[in-house]
Structure 1
Amino acid sequence: MQSLVRGLNVIRSFNARHPRQSLAQVADRTDLARATARRFLLTLVNEGYADTDGSEFWLTPRVLELGYSYMSGLGLPSIAQPRLEQLSRQVGESASMSVLDEDEIVYVNRVPVRRIMTVSITIGTRFPALTTSMGRVLLAFHDAARISQLLKDAELTPLTPHTKTTPQALRAELEQVRSQGFSIVDQELEAGLRSVAAPVYSPTGEVIAAINVSTQSSQYDLTELHDRILTPLLQTARDISADLSAAQLH
């Protein structure tokens, strides 16, 4: 099991900021001895999950196979994609869907219209759940004990001057999201970025995913965000939830 954990840490050390790394960089980012890191990297190369030119290593597209079984079993991304594409066309903005992984959201669908963040968002991109509209939707429907533990353990680092960083403010925000059934995050993740998110329900009534529309603050003020984006977003979330129930019947 320890070897599996170490191997996964080696894979996770590669990301958008570090797509290519030397042996020394991988060892440093994973806290592994160089000999150990080298053994894992060469195993990944031999299995086709990584490649090397002798001085640097990088992942290959085959690593996508590692998540394919989860994605296929979930069924959700393929069901949601047409709805998200329709939503994006309707509002003229990017639409996404994510699921919760501990204290982070993971993007499982993305319909980009334009790049509105300094980082590129793709399938598999992760963000802290507490500072994102989709994350707050996903967290708001957890039980109180889970939320309390998360707020206790979270590193509440301000990402912008608008970021809520106190447990009291975040708890109140999650309570409001649960009550109203959607979340609006105004420039808390990145300056100039506004997003609104809604929950997607499983056939048994659990919140299993969230969808959102993201836009620049210069495009819509908060009133316009409510008027022009919130209604179609909520309808799309209901449609995806209904599609999931219909799919289970078949």
Structure 2
Amino acid sequence: MPAVPPSRRPKRPPAPPQDRGLAHELMQQIQDNQGDPDFMTSLGRGLAVLSVFSQHPREVTMSQISSDTGISRAAVRRVLYTLEKLGYVGEQGRGFVLLPRVLGMGGAYVASSSMTAAAQPVLDALRDAVHESCSLGVLDGDDILYVARAETVRIMSIGLRAGSRLPAYCTSMGRVLLASLPRDTLEGYLERNPLRPRTERTVTRMDDFLDLLEKVRREGASLVDQELEIGLRSIAVPVRSRSGDVVAALNIGTQAGRIGLGVMQTQLLPRLREAAQRLGTLLN
């Protein structure tokens, strides 16, 4: 796909005070479906409330949920009351926490996903070969969603696992998947997501970012050096189905002080490509 012409490149909007998050995306989707008589707004709001818990490491208060979703405190209270009665959340301290029953929903996806089932042995073998953490991700809304992971030691300040979400624009897997999008879809993503600096190394100029995506398309790989978090480097390649469509991204993440950029390209990238090709042949 050719680069977006300068005349059509979207202007970068002012940076919001914080990342939009899944709850914001869900609330926007709820708003977009208001005219559909078959759409259950109350169920949508309940799912939006549940999504807030993935964005906070500890208990969540009604005020936080109301702020993240835009739902009134009174409505949030009713949602939490219902979820508590059904055994999905419980009170703790000054807020609420998820209860083990929610694991049934995530476990059902893992058990039923052919991609996840095929990926884990491939990730485990790749991790054992390179002695670095490896992940498989897909685009979910505007974020990268981790669907499988094989870890050695934690290399980020936040713990990553299946179900974790990160911004797409400043991650290696995100750039691989953004580079595969049709032009109009990519333009929509860029209009919704300002290129906010996560570190002093994050690429935030639109022209530079689009040039990077063009390089990713051309080379079939993305190497991100400490743009998400200082000390973290990662390299990713697309995973293609048997029909040739990009369906996911596979990456290796490492500590910047341990492995240089040249080693990542000459030693890790060939192994990564082999694993992605092997995984692609296993997908329906």
Question: Which residue identity is paired with 2:83?
Answer: L
What residue number does 2:150 align with? 111
- What do residues 75-134 of structure 1 show as CA deviations (whole Å, max 9, x unaligned)? 101101001000001001000111101221000111111111111111111111111000
How far is 1:227 from its partner? 1.8
Preserved contact between residue 23 and residue 55 of structure 1 (Cα < 8 Å): no
CA distance, structure 2, for counterparts of residue 38 and residue 153 of structure 1 = 30
CA separation of 1:4/1:231 partners in 2, compared to 1, >3 Å: closer, same or farther?
same
Residue 98 of structure 2 is aligned to residue 36 of structure 1: no
Q: Secondary structure at the match of 1:123?
A: coil
What residue number does 1:217 align with? 256
Q: Secondary structure at the match of 1:13?
A: helix
CA distance, structure 1, for counterparts of residue 103 and residue 112 of structure 2 = 15
Residue 212 of structure 2 is aligned to residue 198 of structure 1: no
What residue number does 2:9 align with? none
What residue number does 1:158 align with? 197
Report the count of equivalent residues: 245
CA separation of 1:37/1:152 partners in 2, compared to 1, >3 Å: closer, same or farther?
closer
Q: Quick one: which of 166, 176, 183 aligns to 2:215? A: 176
Q: Quick one: which of 132, 137, 142 aligns to 2:171? A: 132
How far is 1:55 from its partner? 4.7
What residue number does 1:232 align with? 271
Residue 134 of structure 2 is aligned to residue 95 of structure 1: yes
Preserved contact between residue 147 and residue 163 of structure 2 (Cα < 8 Å): yes
What residue number does 1:186 align with? 225
Q: Secondary structure at the match of 1:78?
A: helix
Question: Which residue identity is paired with 2:206?
Answer: P
CA distance, structure 2, for counterparts of residue 53 and residue 128 of structure 1 = 29
What residue number does 2:28 align with? none
- What do residues 27-50 of structure 1 show as CA deviations (whole Å, max 9, x unaligned)? 343333332211111111122211
**Which stretch shows the higher mean deviation, 77-86 or 18-27?**
18-27
How far is 1:174 from its partner? 0.9
CA separation of 1:152/1:30 partners in 2, compared to 1, >3 Å: closer, same or farther?
closer
- What do residues 119-153 of structure 1 show as CA deviations (whole Å, max 9, x unaligned)? 11111111111110001111111112222222233
Preserved contact between residue 238 and residue 250 of structure 2 (Cα < 8 Å): yes
Q: Mark the runs of 5 or more structure 1 residues left unpaired by the alignment.
A: none
Q: Quick one: which of 62, 78, 96 aligns to 1:57? A: 96
How far is 1:201 from its partner? 1.1
Question: Which residue identity is paired with 1:85?
Answer: D
Over the matched positions of the two proteins, sequence identity in percent amounts to 40
Q: Mark the runs of 5 or more structure 2 residues left unpaired by the alignment.
A: 1-39
